[in-house]
């Protein structure tokens, strides 16, 4: 990718699970939105996503999602 590449706003990822959430075997934890076969077009990005995540059999504390409410 280059900074001059056009951004496709219809492409993205929606995380269904967060740190500390329980995940069952074969349960979806993310939805990838793409205009075509992302595994063919973006194999490096999918590989990077998979290696960036770690599913542990040991329960972990959820991360704090709201740090401060500004009024």
Cα–Cα dist 18/30, whole Å? 10
* Biggest alpha carbon–alpha carbon distance for the chain: 46
* Nearby residues of 31 by Cβ (< 8 Å), 6 or more positions away: 13, 14, 16
**Domain of 65?**
1-71
Q: Please tell me the total count of domains within the chain.
A: 1
- For residue 34, the number of C-alpha atoms closer than 13 Å in the C-beta half-sphere is 13
User: Phi/psi at 56 (nearest 5 deg)?
Assistant: -110, 140
pLDDT of 16: 93
pLDDT for 5: 86
Mean pLDDT by groups of 10 residues along the chain of 71 residues: 83 88 89 77 78 86 87 86
């Amino acid at each position: 990718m280059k900074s001059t590449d056009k951004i496709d706003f219809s492409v993205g990822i929606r995380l269904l699970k967060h740190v500390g959430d329980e995940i069952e075997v074969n349960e979806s934890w993310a939805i990838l939105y793409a205009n075509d076969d992302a595994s063919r077009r973006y194999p490096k990005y999918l590989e990077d996503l998979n290696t960036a995540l770690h599913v542990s059999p040991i329960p972990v504390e959820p991360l704090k999602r709201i740090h401060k409410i500004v009024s």
